[in-house]
Structure 1
Amino acid sequence: MTDSPIDDSLTHGCLEDLSPEARLLLALARPRLEPAQQQRIFRFLTANGQDLDWGLLVDQACRHGVLPLIGRNLLTYRLVHSADGRSLAPYRWIYAYAYEGNRRRNHALADEYAKVIRGLNAGGLDYAIRKGPVLTEGVYGDVGLRRMGDLDVLLSRDSLPEFTSVVEGLGYRQGHLSGNAELVVPFDRRTQMVWKVSLANSTLPYLKPAQRDDVEVFVLDPCFNVFQPGSGAVVDPAEILARAVDAVLFGEASRRLDAVDQFIDVCVQLHVEATTLMYIEIGKDLTILKFLDLVQLLNRLSGEQLETLVSRVRRYGCVDSVRYALHHTGQVFPDGVPPELTAEFGPADPDLLETYGVLDGRPDRWEQGFADRLFNPRRSRTPKARSTVPGPRAVV
């Protein structure tokens, strides 16, 4: 970096003291850029492109799960070159490869997960697909924009034996990947017992070695409830499954959560992951992609669905999770959350916003502010306590 002044055209409205790289990242992290947004970014890059730490930008984009998205935007909107052909953003090929590589990777995952969905349908299981795959295919509208990971499946606990039979027939095993990535090694007994007793809303993941350069492993993540034990939120999973809607995923007839339950699910997961020691330790507690997901889902809710959302959140008893998610999403994307929706659930309690480790039984408070944590890659070293949950980390 030089000592030259940084143009302030991308000043963020809610988060203070952001680096220019962070401001640029937030400006680019949108599925679509309106002409006015394109012009602001172009002016910013024209004034400051040579002074930015592009290595830091790429690192943060990877950490936050948005490198394919910002890569597509830099290229599609012609933001990497000035009008006279001067480079404004170095290493154009990185952004092209990130987007194209992610698109191809997601197609590989889709081909595999389509087989799983066909198997679940043939087995007559009652299920609903959650989170990533639904967002990648049904919300973003471009399979290369959002990085997809595991296949999250909600089903009743009684259906687990049938689920296991179906996926084992497709080559999946419950365990972790071996060192050479060619075998799935069963979890030890302690890990199995801890997950069975303490994490009763889910079970350990099912893995299948992919043996591909772009996909190391296929992961199935079944769960039995959208709420964690001890969270205070209560809903009969059968109610959510009964309300699931038909969808086409990976070219197959499937089922997904209804729009309101899907939004609540994303809010709850955002809150859990932002405040749980296991996610903090692996640096997946705060990512821009999670806040962007919530904005995209919120934009798709009708007025009637928003009214249903308010009543359903109160009935489920998950007001704190939704309040936490909406507050922080509004901090990251100030224009993404209607003020009236935030006001509907009342002002967020500072204790709620600054406390982590509650579900771990080790509550503590952050000493850094939200903006500092959002872009601090060393925040995982801050908590005094460590997660005692054994088992997978890379596939969480």
Structure 2
Amino acid sequence: MNTFKLTALLSHIQLTPQELEMCKAALKPLQSSIDDQHAFYEYCLQWKLAPWLYLQLQKHGFISFFDKKVIARFENTYQEVKLENENRNVIAKQFLQAFHDHNIDVIILKGNAFTQTFYGDVGYKKMNDFDILIKFEDWPKIEQIYYDLGYIPLGFGWSGEKQKPAKYSHTSLPFISTDFKCIIGTQWGLKSPTTHFTVDTKEIWDTAVPLDFYGIPCKQLSPEYNLIHLILHLGVFKCGTRDCMDLYNLIQSTPIDTEKLFAIIEKSKAIQKSRYALEMCRLCSDYIPEEWIQRLPEGKPSFINTRLRKRLVMFEEVGDMHGSYNDYFQDIEKNVIYYNLFPQFHKRIYFFAKILRLLYFPEIKFALKFIDKSHQPTLLNKLKARLLGPWFSFSMIAQEIGWKVTILLFVKLCIDTLISPLNYFTSKESYFQYLKKKGIEAHQIKKLVQNVQ
């Protein structure tokens, strides 16, 4: 059993006696080599599994196979993540209580809900923000609550207006708590309306189930909608054990109504994405029902189908799904955020140039991951990766927001850069002027954005 298979197996909430024996047999030889123990920790850290694997090693009595120094590294990583998440939850309780007091319904999404349900531990993984689903008509009241609590909007948005969410978006601007320990992601849909997915918002709310968040009555998605949300959220390239484990642990720990699930998949036009997500999970877990895969036809050729086929070939060659893992979309997204924070031409042109470089000239290590050939860096593969790099850069963005909006936003970036010299002469308040009036230093916002993983 290689390290990938071992860590994937250990990431399961429930392990059979036979699986526990397999893990024990794979871990016990590590006792004789401190270097191998450190290498195991480094693998877990690199793929963001260290906090959860630390809990699992403790739970199953495998932590004794490790040296004190290695145990300390696992524990320190877990405690850091746990503290971050606990600090975020302190803020979450603040605004969730305010919502409850104002009779505003809220659904807590993904990991922040799962800490309270099947994982049962607030430190099981690092989370960037606290994502919630609201009803669109409640947004004005919620926004006012954020301002009343002193929270800070992250930028002014594409239109430059603090009060109006973009019509093509399913989310508001992120808001940041005054202590910079919580970014709140407020959304009224599970996926951008500009993509081809069509998730039934009314049914989401009709089927939502209660969730107690530290004594505050909230809601969570039904098991079926939780699964479809995780499927839609799973990245094409940001896809490793840590990203898949929420799906297969949800399946393993929670009864799923198969017919309801497939009705939602079909209605949401998510057949290809569901096949991709479940096939990726199957590389880590034996708990993905084979019948589910069989009910999801491959369909016509597409970007997602091609990537699935190439990824499975890569996995057969190297025995690890992480060979193509990258978070390049987030690298682009961060620079777009910075671009929008700085209205002056001399700053915007710097970030615009960085965005262009990321889009058209990705580093070869990323370009090889795009074509699932990082393990075969031959001259031919490097040439192919270099030529196809821009196509993959734009395709990643289009997977999140759709091709039309991707092109429109790129055009808008170009136009905004060309006219940005006018900002030297305008009296319109910039974002950092707004922050200065509130006594907030710009570097605090920059540091927060940079810390997002």
Distance 2:151 2:40 in 1: 37
Return the TM-score normalized by structure 2: 0.65
Q: Is residue 265 of structure 1 aligned with residue 229 of structure 2?
A: yes
User: 1 CA distance for matches of 2:223 and 2:59?
Assistant: 30
Q: Is contact 1:102-1:147 (8 Å) kept?
A: yes
Residues 1:323 and 1:92: Cα distance change in structure 2 (over 3 Å): same
Q: How does 1:245-256 map to 2 (within 5 A)?
A: 245-256=209-220
Q: How far has the Cα of 1:338 moved from its partner?
A: 1.0
Count of aligned positions:
337
TM alignment of 1:1-396, pairs within 5 A = 10=1, 20-49=2-31, 50=33, 53-81=36-64, 87=66, 91-175=70-154, 186-187=155-156, 197=166, 200-210=169-179, 217-270=181-234, 274-275=235-236, 285-302=238-255, 305-333=257-285, 335-347=286-298, 351=302, 352-355=304-307, 369=314, 374-375=322-323, 380=328, 381-382=366-367, 383=370, 384-385=389-390, 386=393, 394-395=451-452
Q: In the TM superposition, what whole-angstrom CA distance separates every residue of 1:346-394 from its partner, at most 9, and x where no partner exists? A: 35777434349xxxxxxxx879835666145668422513467789575
TM-superposition CA deviations, 1:144-173 (whole Å, max 9, x none): 333344221112333221111112222211
Partner Cα separation in structure 2 for residue 130 and residue 77 of structure 1: 29
Letter of the 1:224 counterpart? W
Percent identity for Structure 1 against Structure 2: 18
CA distance in 2, matches of 1:93, 1:348: 49
Distance 1:309 1:339 in 2: 15
Secondary structure (helix, strand or coil) at the match of 2:131 reads strand
Q: Is the 8 A contact 1:259 1:301 kept in 2?
A: yes
Shift of 1:293: 0.4
Amino acid corresponding to residue 140 of structure 2 in structure 1 = P
The alpha-carbon deviation at position 104 of structure 1 amounts to 3.8
Structure of larger gyration radius: 2
Residue 235 to residue 145, structure 1, CA distance change in 2 (3 Å): closer
Secondary structure of the corresponding residue to residue 369 of structure 1: helix
Deviation of 1:48 (Å): 4.6
**What per-residue deviation string (whole Å, max 9, x for no partner) do you get for residues 17-45 of structure 1?**
xxx43333223222344443333223223
**Long gaps (5+) in structure 2:** 329-365, 371-388, 398-405, 414-445
C-alpha deviation, 1:46, in angstroms: 3.0
Flag structure 1 segments of 5+ consecutive residues without an equivalent: 1-9, 11-19, 176-185, 211-215, 357-364
Question: By how many angstroms is 1:218 displaced?
Answer: 0.3
Determine helix, strand or coil for the equivalent of 1:247.
strand
Q: Relative contact order (alpha carbons < 8 A, sep ≥ 6): 1 or 2 greater?
A: 1
**Residues 201 and 223, structure 1, Cα contact 8 Å, conserved in 2:** yes
Write 1 or 2 for the structure with the bigger share of helix: 2
